[in-house]
Amino acid sequence: MPEQHRWPQLDQIAYGGDYNPEQWPRETWHEDVRLMREAGVNMVSIGIFSWALLETEEGVFDFEWLDTVIELLHENGIAVDLGTPTASPPAWFFAEYPDARVIDRDGRVLGFGSRGMVSHSAASYRDAVVRIASALAERYADHPAVLMWHVHNEYGVPVAEDYSPHAVRAFRTWLRERYGSLDELNRAWGTAFWGQHYGDWEHVGAPAAAASTVNPAQRLDFARFSDHQLRACYIAERDAIRAHSDKPVTTNFMANQEFTTDLWAWAKEVDVVSDDHYLTAADPEAHIGLAIAADLSRSVGGGKPWMLLEHSTSAVNWQPRNVAKRPGEMARNSLAHFGRGADAIMFFQWRASRSGAEKFHSTMLPHAGTDSRIWREVVDLGAKLGRVSEARGARVQADVAILWDFESFWGQSLEWRPTQDLDPRERIRAFYERLWRDGITVDFALPGADLSGYKLVIAASQYLLTRDDAANLTRYVAGGGTLAVSYFSGIVDEHDAVHAGGFMAPLREVLGCDVEEFLPLRAGARAAVDYTAADGGAHRLSADDWQDDLRITTAEVRGTYAEGPGASKPAITRNAHGDGTGWYLSTRLDAGALETVMGDVYADAGIAPAGLPEGVEAVRRVGEAADYLTLLNHTDTAADVPVDGVDLLTGAATGGSLTLEAGGAAVVRLEG
């Protein structure tokens, strides 16, 4: 598929949101398009939950209302991102095919009345999604308003795994293809343990609830399979659309929020990566989680611009406490996504629903109407995005990669690990947060990727690491790279089997050490480290949760445990390997400790903090004609940033320094 097909044919940054006109009388539609124009909306996503109204009985279609909506939008210059409504099959579907309901791990049959509650392995469902997607594509392929296709909605949410008989049968088929023989499956799963040997394919099932811990390799494969089944449904819809249309097809990811879909694999199947992102309200620094999500969306797409298909103007409704955004926060969030590569800024949803499960979710047009802070900020944001549209297509460049591997997450999240305190995403956030504060831009990468372009690679929690991928990391360092590995990495292979040779054996060469024994700590216990910095300074570093009993081969010991079961043993090591350096950090260092150690790691990698004022975020997009620096002040006080160029939001030249007001933002076209 040629590159030019991969972006909807808009001449601005896309701005808009999900639009659900079927919830409103037709007179409201006219008010909607008028207000959309007022807000600068240039594209909306429609049809996402409209199946029951489009296919009123099996095979009986009613497109009249949708024709009308699309025509009305088109007349008003608003483009359409046309959804397939397959995330929510109609009531008639479940009545006709009750066996297509999801059965959860405990054997509960999940009923109709919510969304996302269908077995993606049921042939009846696959047939139905192809039918509706084909019908939509056939009808609207050539409509000039329709610029792109939006398949389904947030695959994997709210439920990714299905234990129905359909899924069990499909799992067997998938396993036969994966392993070829039962002998190979028995070997891969280690079924000699606990007497789980299979002598017949028909005896192999899904890893449903059992009396105790179920075979972990089986569960890991079931996670792979479940992801595969969702993706197979996506591909079936996409191909049904492509039979009629060559406009770009996407489906909205939930990067850094939903972990059952392997976005690296999904990104290969979409024409443009798109993402939904919602702040974690309980986190006062939720904008860091946002930055991770944005960088991940960009990374899985190979660095190309991507679309933010959903975020919120203010509070959501499904978290324990749904904190409203403060004035200006929506714009900062939007520009943060833009700064990290998003060329579309869209929302769930246009107008607040009066009924249903999400009526307390904020929207572009709130229950309070247009005499409201939110509406005024929505209109203002539309104008702002127009002013920065020249930056479309510019690319973000990063010197640092953090490994992000869904399969490793799946393996590590299984039962009976050394301690419940292990949390791979916590460590990724900790390292990322350190780099964010230092103003250093990050890509995410798979451990088997070409890493040669990075000065620093961080394995924050790479539990599952194949020999091949470990060799890739080793080659990267030998070639001059700097690698920082945090604990509980390199433990198992792709079958969740401990590496022959012991924990971290595949990284022994590059790190100059391996792990003789894990020393997890009791709740509340501390694990301080006495660390000698590169400048000779002595530091007592704070840490907890975990220690290792290390065996040193070639590594230099840079930190030693001051307390805990590992007291007096090595805690932090540095190993020269080839032209590069491998660091190992064997405990959960806190933020201050990470700052100290990462300072030395940066030096090895030849990078340095950007020296920004605290709480100011800066990301650069490199365009063909110019570079653009997005600057966001997340604090309550103004901050001065040395920068030379023109702030596109105001049109003013910075004259060498720009004052970001409290909560303020700028997008500077750089000079010189």
List the one residue from 20, 84, 482, 633 that touches a copy of itself (CB under 8 A).
Answer: 20
CB 124 within 8 A of CB 234: no
C-alpha span between 328 and 346 (Å, rounded): 16
Identify the active-site residue in 55, 161, 237, 310.
Answer: 310
Q: Kindly tell me the burial class for residue 229, based on how many C-beta atoms sit within 10 Å of its own C-beta (0-12, 13-18, 19 or more).
A: buried
SS3 state at 220: helix
| Nearest of 628, 652, 655 to residue 641 by alpha carbon | 655
**Is residue 281 a contact residue for a copy of itself (CB under 8 A)?**
yes
Torsion of CA 49, 52, 54, 58, to 10 degrees: 130
Instruction: Name which position in 26, 71, 109, 642 contacts a copy of itself (CB under 8 A).
Output: 109
**Ramachandran sector of residue 668 (left: φ over 0; alpha: ψ -120 to 50; beta: rest):** beta
Contact region with a copy of itself (CB under 8 A), list: 141-149, 171-179, 281-289, 657-665: 281-289
Name the token pair of 149.
């296709």
Q: Which is nearer to a copy of itself, 159 or 612 (CB)?
A: 159
Binding mask 22-61 for a copy of itself (x = CB under 8 A): xx-------------------------xxxxx--xx----
Burial class of 471 by CB neighbour count within 10 A (0 to 12, 13 to 18, 19+): middle
CA distance linking residue 334 with residue 604, whole number of Å: 35
Q: Which stretch binds a copy of itself (CB under 8 A): 2-10, 120-128, 216-224, 651-659?
A: 216-224
Helix axes 123-140, 216-242, angle to 10 degrees: 30
Q: How far apart are CA 600 and CA 168, in angstroms?
A: 51
Output the smallest distance, CB 187 to a copy of itself, in A.
Answer: 9
> Does 285 contact a copy of itself by CB under 8 A?
no
CB-wise, 4 or 212, nearer to a copy of itself? 212
Query: For residue 201, what are its two tokens?
Result: 């394919």
User: 363 or 596, CB closer to a copy of itself?
Assistant: 363
The answer to the question of residue 107 lying near a copy of itself (CB under 8 A) is yes
Residue nearer to a copy of itself on the CB measure, 158 or 599 = 158
Q: How far is the CB of 408 from a copy of itself (least distance, A)?
A: 16
By the rule CB under 8 A, 356 interacts with a copy of itself: yes
Dist. CA 650–CA 667, nearest whole Å: 9
Vertex 426, ends 424 and 429: CA angle to 5°? 110
Nearest distance in Å: CB 388, a copy of itself: 27
Q: Give the integer Cα–Cα distance in Å for 484 and 459.
A: 6
Question: Smallest gap, in angstroms, from Cβ of residue 197 to a copy of itself?
Answer: 4
Going by their DSSP bridges, the two strands 529-532 and 616-622 should be labelled as: unpaired
Indicate if 310 belongs to the active site: yes
In the list 243, 357, 534, 662, the residue contacting a copy of itself (rule: CB under 8 A) is 357
Pick the binder of a copy of itself from 74, 143, 178, 367 (CB under 8 A). Answer: 367
Under the binding rule (CB under 8 A), the answer on residue 376 touching a copy of itself is: no
Under the criterion CB under 8 A, does residue 354 sit at the interface with a copy of itself?
Answer: yes
Q: Which of 497, 557, 610, 612 lies at the binding interface for a copy of itself (CB under 8 A)? A: 497
What is the CB neighbour count within 10 angstroms for residue 106? 8
Cα end-to-end distance, the chain, whole Å: 37
Q: Which residues contact 560 (CB under 8 A, 6 or more apart)?
A: 529, 530, 568, 569, 570, 571
Restricting to residues 288-307, which ones interact with a copy of itself according to CB under 8 A?
A: none
The only residue of 339, 520, 580, 664 in contact with a copy of itself, by rule CB under 8 A? 520
Tell me: does residue 352 bind a copy of itself (CB under 8 A).
yes
How near is the Cβ of 285 to a copy of itself at its closest, in Å? 12
Assigned token pair, 302: 């190979």
Stretch that binds a copy of itself, among 318-326, 425-433, 443-451, 533-541 (CB under 8 A): 318-326
Show contacts with a copy of itself in window 555-594 (CB under 8 A). Answer: 565
Distance CA 413, CA 264 (A): 19
78, with CB counted inside 10 A (0-12, 13-18, 19+), is buried
The verdict on 379 binding a copy of itself (CB under 8 A) reads no
Count CA within 13 A, CB hemisphere, residue 523: 1
Stretch that binds a copy of itself, among 255-263, 368-376, 431-439, 658-666 (CB under 8 A): 368-376
Query: Which of positions 419-448 make contact with a copy of itself (CB under 8 A)?
Result: 419-421
Q: In the set 3, 4, 523, 537, which binds a copy of itself (CB under 8 A)?
A: 523
Encoded one letter per residue, x for contact with a copy of itself by CB under 8 A and - for no contact, window 111-130 reads xxxxxxx-------------
Number of residues that bind a copy of itself (CB under 8 A): 122
Q: Under the criterion CB under 8 A, does residue 315 sit at the interface with a copy of itself? A: yes
Q: Is 328 one of the binding residues for a copy of itself (CB under 8 A)?
A: no
Q: Which residues are catalytic?
A: 154, 310
